[in-house]
Amino acid sequence: MKNIAVILSGCGVYDGSEIQEAVITLLAIAQQGATYRCFAPNIAQHHVINHLTGEVSEDESRNVLVEAARIGRGDVEDLIELNEKEFDAIIFVGGFGAAKNLSSFALDNDNYSVNEQVLTAAKAFAKVEKPAGFMCIAPALLPLIYPAGVKGTIGKDNATAKLIAAKGLIHIDCDVADVVVDEAHKIVTTPAYMLAESISEAAVGINKLVKYVLAFSK
């Protein structure tokens, strides 16, 4: 049975993992006959957003790993313990946490970087040519993990795409229900909530992403 490492960035679309994307991903993996283990870096969140008001909670701080455990029902592991030899593929869930906690994309734009733990884990999979899936804003990480010319999508947001393309990504516009496949690097990307207006819309592309990632796994 294939085993997938799923990378989370907290819990909540505005400061962590997009919860619906995460749940759809885990369900798709299980329904397609594979298993998964969830991981997150044991670091402080960039900030905490009140998801009811959309405002920053100035006097509050949270830990990415602890928050991600909410999604994994307590079953989430420290990213530093991730061993690529135990998995067939890796999938990065979206949400602003991917752009604030896993990377600084939302903060530094054209001068952004990827967290060292995240970079080490992702590059370990890339080095041994294991498949990877990235959804929503997570494809922003791609050009800092893979060589220039890697292909991917964040949907049809031209301004955001240009920022990522400046780092070396070949961005391909994509509808919410579809995926972009980079066969050379075994990478699958889908817009998810960069375009989706409902959970059912997001699910179509994410299910395809999981299907292609599993198909790439040997």
Catalytic center residues: 136
Question: What residues are paired with 171 via a beta bridge?
Answer: 152
Cα within 13 Å of Cα(97), Cβ side: 32
| Strand bridging mode 187-190 / 180-182 | antiparallel
Alpha-carbon distance of 74 to 8, in angstroms, equals 13
Cα 85 from Cα 14, distance rounded (Å): 32
CB-based contacts of 48, cutoff 8 Å, min separation 6: 15, 56, 57, 60, 61, 62
| Alpha-carbon distance values, 172 to 27, 139, 169, 181, 191 (Å) | 27, 11, 9, 10, 11
